[in-house]
């Protein structure tokens, strides 16, 4: 993400803007950070990339970009025959263990907003630090053989291009129909996301920062047409969250 911001600065100095879809790849990351103050473990053998996408979608669709990135990762992993599943919003799990994660940030440069779509995918890296043991896995761990990183990257970027394209198509359709998610517009992106998600029906714990401060437990019911997670408490009352994170228990 730092390198992409550097590229934006260089483009600005030349009076240009960074091209949509510009992607920076790293072999390994040494001082990377996840959300909040979490460490982002990124050794050799994994796919670590960030794509810049300018803010050209309406807010109600740009907020679905994290879903698009998660869906792309999940579909890329599934091309290797693994039963990858999505946990709301965009964690990718194989048999309950995290194989890919997404970090989305936004930056504003010269009045233009960019979404930085960061992806970490455990591919040929086999060993994990103690805190990730039992909760993380990789393609090589599941397949029992290494995969070509260049080919995996190609598959991932193709899926990312497809998923973001689907989101732009959704926006076009919604504008034509003059029907948005709050009025029940059914997004094709979310339909595809839902098909690969194992979140509905799970007993979950929810929190804004689930590791530091879990807030409550509930049953995940579904996602609403705007991407919000519908959860039900034991007394039957429901709540919808549009931010935060969950763990299954």
Partner 1 sequence: MASQQEIHFDKIISRYRADPYHYQDVHSLHTGKVRFIAEENSSVEGVSGEWQHKLGTALYAIERERNTKVITATINGTVASVCQNLDGQFVEAGEKLLTIRHPLKKKEIIEAILQEVLFLFRAPERARYYFSLDIQSRIDQKGARSVFIKPGDEIITMSLMKRDTPVYYSGEAGLLHSIYFKPGDSVSQGVPLIGICPEEKFPVVQKVITRVKAEWE
Question: Binding to partner 1 by residue 242, rule CB under 8 A?
Answer: yes
Question: Binding to partner 1 by residue 200, rule CB under 8 A?
Answer: no
Q: Which is nearer to partner 1, 43 or 244 (CB)?
A: 244
Question: Tokens 């992106």, residue?
Answer: 189
Q: Which of 149, 179, 210, 247 binds partner 1 (CB under 8 A)?
A: 179
Question: Tokens 């909760």, residue?
Answer: 135
Buried b / exposed e along 65-92 (16+ C-beta atoms within 10 A): bbbbbbbbbbbbbbebebebbbbbbbbb
Question: Binding to partner 1 by residue 105, rule CB under 8 A?
Answer: yes
Cα atoms in the 13 Å half-sphere on the side-chain side of 137: 19
Q: Which is nearer to partner 1, 12 or 209 (CB)?
A: 209
Pair 85, 24: CB distance under 8 Å: no
What is the full DSSP assignment across 47-68?
EEEEEEEES-S-HHHHTTHHHH
Q: Which of 104, 121, 147, 167 binds partner 1 (CB under 8 A)?
A: 104
Q: For partner 1, how many residues bind (rule: CB under 8 A)?
A: 37
**Contacts (Cβ under 8 Å, ≥6 apart) of 67:** 89, 90, 189, 190, 193, 227
- Determine the interface stretch with partner 1 among 121-129, 152-160, 166-174, 205-213 (rule: CB under 8 A): 205-213
Tokens of 226: 């705007």
Question: Binding to partner 1 by residue 89, rule CB under 8 A?
Answer: yes
Binding flags for partner 1, 127-166, as an x/- string (CB under 8 A): ----------------------------------------
Radius of gyration from C-alpha coordinates of the chain: 18
Pair 216, 205: CB distance under 8 Å: yes
Binding to partner 1, residues 56-85 (CB under 8 A): 59, 63-67
Q: Which of 145, 234, 237, 249 binds partner 1 (CB under 8 A)?
A: 237
CB neighbourhood size of 52 (10 A)? 23
Question: Binding to partner 1 by residue 239, rule CB under 8 A?
Answer: yes
**Whole-number minimum distance, CB 221 to partner 1, in Å?**
13
What residues make contact with partner 1 under the rule CB under 8 A? 35, 59, 63-67, 89-90, 102, 104-108, 113, 115, 179-180, 182-184, 208-209, 213, 215-216, 227, 233, 237-239, 241-245
């Amino acid at each position: 993400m730092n390198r992409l911001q550097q590229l934006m600065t260089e483009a600005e100095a030349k009076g240009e803007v960074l091209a949509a879809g510009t992607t920076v790849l790293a072999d390994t990351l040494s001082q990377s950070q996840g959300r909040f103050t979490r460490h982002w473990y990124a050794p050799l053998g994994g796919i670590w990339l960030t794509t810049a996408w300018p803010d050209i979608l309406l807010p109600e669709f740009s907020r679905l970009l994290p879903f698009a990135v998660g869906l792309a990762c999940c579909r890329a992993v599934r091309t290797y025959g693994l039963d990858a599943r999505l946990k709301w919003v965009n964690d990718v799990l194989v048999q309950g263990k995290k194989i890919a994660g997404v970090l989305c940030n936004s930056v504003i440069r010269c009045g233009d907003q960019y979404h930085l779509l960061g992806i970490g995918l455990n591919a040929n890296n086999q060993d994990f630090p103690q805190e990730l043991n039992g909760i993380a896995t990789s393609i090589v761990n599941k397949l029992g053989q290494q995969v070509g990183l260049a080919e995996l990257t190609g598959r991932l970027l193709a899926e990312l291009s497809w998923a973001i394209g689907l989101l732009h198509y959704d926006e076009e359709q919604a504008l034509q129909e003059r029907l948005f998610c709050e009025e029940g517009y059914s997004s094709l992106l979310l339909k595809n996301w839902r098909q690969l998600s194992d979140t509905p029906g799970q007993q979950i714990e929810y929190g804004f920062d689930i590791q530091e401060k879990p807030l409550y437990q509930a049953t995940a019911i579904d996602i609403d047409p705007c991407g919000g997670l519908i959860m039900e408490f034991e007394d039957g009352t429901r709540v919808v969250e549009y931010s935060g994170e969950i763990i299954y228990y």
